[in-house]
């Protein structure tokens, strides 16, 4: 675009004046003005020192002044060019940029010092907001401020039709996340509500009173849950914000089970009181067992330290118990009130089979084939388990089409993929010792870059060159002073200005005197030079109070190799206790192991507690095991599905491991409970009688969790896929495999 430097100055200065921004960085030469004014040669590399030597000769000075005149008279010159020439007539900045750009951790054009990509297509401006990205109210105000600056910039530079301005970074991601989460939660809740509504309409045709009672029961449970969650946590995070969809899918199960049994009993007796009594004494134990196993699975997630899953476990566990209480007390009361008001609003005159006769016949005629098929599918699923992987990348749980992440990738492609830095921290008892260790660190970082262990790094070097490098520069400067005729420099400079028609004033004398003094420097600078300037960016690399220095290491293509991290950790450990290394890649590697370990522990706890609850319900070990076998087969089939499709676990969907134990066991519990009632004589008959309820419960659960697949956040969407696959597998096992097992083991 035209006048890209003008755009950088406009936005950069607006950001600097903003009350929401701590500082803005838009020109590499602004990094260390306070230090380099009189010490700039210390920051130059060997090539830049040679350029400086050429520039300060008589020929070099005269050539640069002629170029300045030519540029000022050029029709394509800009006000920024004029300002830069007046400030730096010998164009020392280009020599500084040559050195800074080569040692910098980004690829950039050296023109004027702005962060411009090598193909001149992208300008980069860094801004540091005043408050945390977790402060939602601040982030909202920050977004409004940034939007205002961006709109003004577009108007100011409206002649550039191809101008596009985008945001990336943690704050931009926080802004995008807030908008995405709000939209996702609304769409998710609406989708699950609509799906469940249509399921009810399909089953309870034209009986709107049933839908109203179910909705009122769920609304009461949800209100209690959110009220308790507010008292405990104050607000919901991304994980627990899906509680509406979850309760819509799970809480409705208890409503369906009790209502269907009540309807069945009412058709037989015609007495609503007797129907409710029988339902609450015969069917309720199975419902209570199912609710306890599900809530136990959710509460078991408390064993993890991952805050998102931790809060989800507590809120969902409370929600399940609230749905149970609301169903047994609130819904039962509503049924009594409505039926006493007008008979026929709720119940049919006769039961409908719902297609259960066919399933019952298959179970009766082919139990052996069913068991063989189940075992065969189990073996196939077990074969796929080694293919399951864990995606350690945080982006795997983020939005699918994040504009912020797309912008980040574009920046990475233009400037170099600077992502996932590792931070090395060094400390010492005094400044002299810290300078020594800083020198050691820069030396070993240079070796890592040469070996390709790291791609780039950022450190205190742009503000303070390492002592060993300063000594090399001071030695080289002795030769430069002897060759350029430093005492004649001012005279040559003034004559060149006069010959090219420049008006001579006092600032030129001050400028050339500063250059002379800088070239004549004879002593190195230390940490006190850094401490005496007011540049908040230095805080990233130096802490004067604690005497610590930090450096940031970047991998090639933004991805760390495990071997490289191990090598760096070992070498840092070998440097002594004053050196340490940390960073998100190391943290996430540890978090991954911790999450997997804690998820397994939570699942083990859930399994033990669920087994205990089921054993207490059915009194015998054999029946408890029979109920659990379809659960474990369904669970394994879900994992096999992940291995076969290449779906990976992440920090969110790994919670499905524990949740499936609590959700999937309910269907086996309902079948076994129905079978044990004296009026049933066979497992096939239980399928015929209870199968409708089990299918409806599973379908509403799939509707609730399946709606998560509409979410932009991949972590939540994949959680919905895994739970849906697991519930479907557990449903089939409960309808076919469990009755077939009962057929053999009970008879």
pLDDT the model gives residue 503:
83
Q: How far apart are the first and last CA of the chain?
A: 83
The predicted model gives 112-140 an average pLDDT of 80
**Contacts of 64 by beta carbon, 8 Å cutoff, 6+ apart:** 55, 89, 90, 91
206 pLDDT above the threshold of 60: no
State the Cα–Cα distance between residues 362 and 368, nearest whole angstrom. Answer: 11
Mean pLDDT (the chain, rounded): 83
pLDDT in tens, 369-402: 999 999 999 999 999 999 998 887 777 777 877 8
Which is nearest to 437 in space by CA: 535, 566, 547, 553? Answer: 547
pLDDT in tens, 141-196: 888 888 899 888 888 887 666 778 888 888 888 778 777 777 877 787 788 778 87
| C-alpha dist (Å) from residue 536 to 10, 542, 666 | 21, 10, 58
What is the four-CA torsion angle of 645, 649, 650, 652, rounded to 10 degrees? 100
pLDDT the model gives residue 1:
53
Antiparallel, parallel or unpaired: β 456-458 and 123-124: unpaired
| C-alpha dist (Å) from residue 102 to 98, 107, 444, 463, 562 | 6, 8, 18, 15, 27
On whether the CB atoms of residues 508 and 87 are closer than 8 A, the answer is no
The predicted model gives 112-138 an average pLDDT of 80
pLDDT the model gives residue 732:
92
The predicted model gives 526-550 an average pLDDT of 84
499 pLDDT above the threshold of 50: yes
Looking at the DSSP bridge assignments, the partners of residue 538 are: none
pLDDT the model gives residue 722:
92
Dig out the tokens for 708 from the structure.
Answer: 């998560």
The predicted model gives 121-147 an average pLDDT of 84
**Burial environment of residue 718 by CB neighbours within 10 A (0 to 12, 13 to 18, 19 or more):** buried
522 pLDDT above the threshold of 90: no
pLDDT the model gives residue 92:
85
More confident of the two residues 110 and 626: 626
Predicted structure pTM score: 0.73
pLDDT in tens, 685-697: 888 878 888 888 8
pLDDT the model gives residue 35:
46
Domain ranges of the chain: 172-350+366-389+620-745
State the Cα–Cα distance between residues 97 and 470, nearest whole angstrom. Answer: 18
The predicted model gives 614-632 an average pLDDT of 88
pLDDT in tens, 401-458: 788 887 877 777 777 656 778 999 999 999 999 999 999 999 999 899 888 888 888 8
pLDDT the model gives residue 308:
62
Antiparallel, parallel or unpaired: β 126-129 and 21-25: antiparallel
pLDDT the model gives residue 441:
92
pLDDT in tens, 211-257: 888 889 989 998 998 888 888 887 666 555 677 777 777 888 888 88
Q: Which residue has the tokens 């998560």?
A: 708
pLDDT in tens, 20-61: 988 888 876 665 554 456 788 888 888 888 888 888 888 898
pLDDT the model gives residue 727:
92
pLDDT the model gives residue 549:
93
The predicted model gives 258-285 an average pLDDT of 86
pLDDT the model gives residue 487:
72
Instruction: With cut-offs at 50, 70 and 90, classify the pLDDT of residue 467.
Output: very high
Percent of the chain at pLDDT exceeding 90:
16
Which is nearest to 316 in space by CA: 365, 410, 243? Answer: 243
Dig out the tokens for 676 from the structure.
Answer: 């044990």
State the Cα–Cα distance between residues 14 and 16, nearest whole angstrom. Answer: 5
Q: Which residue has the tokens 């002044």?
A: 65
pLDDT the model gives residue 378:
93
State the Cα–Cα distance between residues 694 and 702, nearest whole angstrom. Answer: 12
Percent of the chain at pLDDT exceeding 70:
90
pLDDT in tens, 318-371: 999 999 999 999 999 998 888 888 877 777 766 665 667 888 888 888 888 999
């Amino acid at each position: 675009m035209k006048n890209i430097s003008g755009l950088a100055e406009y936005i950069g200065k607006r950001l600097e004046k903003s009350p929401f921004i701590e500082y803005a960085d838009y020109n590499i030469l602004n990094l260390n003005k306070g230090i380099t004014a009189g010490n700039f040669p210390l920051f130059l590399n060997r090539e830049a020192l040679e350029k400086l030597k050429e520039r300060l000769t008589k020929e070099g000075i005269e050539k640069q002044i002629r170029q300045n005149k030519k540029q000022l008279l050029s029709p394509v010159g800009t006000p920024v060019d004029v300002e830069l020439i007046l400030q730096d007539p010998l164009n020392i900045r280009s020599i500084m940029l040559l050195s800074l750009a080569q040692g910098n951790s980004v690829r950039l054009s050296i023109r004027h010092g702005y962060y411009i990509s090598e193909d001149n297509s992208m300008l980069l401006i860094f801004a540091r907001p005043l408050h945390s990205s977790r402060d939602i109210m601040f982030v909202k105000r920050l977004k409004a401020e940034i939007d205002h600056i961006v709109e003004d910039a577009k108007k100011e530079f409206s002649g550039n039709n191809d101008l596009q301005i985008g945001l990336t970074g943690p704050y931009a991601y926080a802004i995008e996340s807030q908008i995405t989460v709000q939209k996702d939660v609304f769409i998710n809740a609406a989708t699950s509500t609509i799906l469940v509504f249509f399921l009810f309409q399909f089953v309870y045709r034209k009986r709107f009173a049933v839908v109203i009672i179910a909705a009122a029961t769920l609304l009461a449970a949800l209100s209690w849950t959110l009220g308790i969650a507010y008292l405990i946590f104050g607000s919901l995070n991304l994980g627990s914000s899906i509680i509406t969809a979850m309760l819509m899918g799970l809480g409705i199960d208890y409503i369906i089970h009790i209502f269907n049994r009540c309807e069945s009993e009412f058709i037989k007796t015609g007495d609503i009181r007797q129907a409710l009594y029988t339902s609450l004494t015969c069917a309720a134990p199975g419902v209570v067992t199912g609710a306890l196993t599900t809530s136990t699975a959710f509460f078991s997630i408390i064993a993890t330290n991952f805050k998102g899953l931790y809060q989800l476990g507590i809120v969902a566990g409370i929600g399940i118990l609230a749905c149970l209480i609301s169903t047994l007390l609130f819904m039962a009361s509503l049924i009594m009130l409505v039926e006493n008001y007008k008979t026929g609003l709720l119940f049919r005159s006769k039961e409908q089979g719902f297609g259960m006769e066919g399933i019952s016949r298959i179970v009766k005629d082919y139990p052996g084939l069913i068991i063989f098929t189940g075992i065969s599918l189990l073996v196939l699923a077990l074969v796929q388990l080694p293919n399951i992987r864990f995606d350690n990348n945080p982006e795997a749980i983020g939005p699918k089409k994040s504009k912020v992440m797309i912008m980040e990738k574009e920046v990475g492609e233009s400037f170099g993929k600077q992502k996932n830095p590792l931070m090395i921290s060094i400390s010492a008892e005094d400044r002299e010792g810290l300078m020594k260790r800083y020198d050691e660190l820069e030396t070993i970082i240079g070796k890592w870059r040469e070996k390709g262990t790291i791609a780039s790094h950022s450190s205190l070097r742009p503000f303070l060159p390492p002592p060993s490098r300063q000594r090399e520069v001071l030695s080289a400067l002795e030769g430069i002073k002897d060759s350029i005729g430093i005492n004649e420099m001012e005279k040559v400079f003034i004559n060149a200005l006069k010959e090219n028609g420049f008006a001579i004033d006092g600032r030129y004398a001050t400028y050339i005197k500063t250059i002379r003094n800088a070239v004549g420097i004879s002593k190195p600078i230390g940490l006190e030079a850094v401490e005496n300037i007011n540049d908040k960016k230095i805080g990233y690399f130096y802490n004067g109070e604690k005497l610590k220095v930090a450096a940031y290491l970047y991998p090639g293509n933004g991805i760390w190799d495990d071997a490289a991290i191990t090598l760096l950790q070992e070498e840092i450990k070998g440097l002594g206790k004053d050196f340490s290394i940390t960073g998100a890649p190391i943290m996430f590697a540890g978090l991954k192991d911790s999450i997997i370990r804690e998820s397994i522990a939570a699942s083990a706890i859930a399994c033990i507690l669920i087994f205990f609850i089921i054993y207490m319900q059915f009194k015998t070990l054999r029946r408890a095991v029979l109920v659990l076998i379809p659960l474990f087969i369904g669970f394994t089939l879900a994992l096999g599905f992940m291995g076969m499709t290449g779906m990976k676990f992440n920090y969110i969907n790994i919670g499905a491991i524990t949740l499936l134990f609590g959700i999937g066991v309910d269907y086996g519990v309902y079948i076994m409970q129905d079978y044990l009632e004296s009026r049933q004589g066979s497992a096939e008959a239980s399928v015929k009688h209870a199968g409708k309820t089990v299918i409806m419960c599973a379908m509403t659960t799939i509707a609730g969790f399946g709606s998560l697949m509409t979410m932009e956040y991949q972590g939540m969407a994949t959680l919905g896929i895994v739970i849906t696959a697991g519930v479907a597998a557990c449903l089939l096992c409960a309808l076919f495999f469990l009755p077939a097992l009962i057929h053999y083991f009970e008879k």
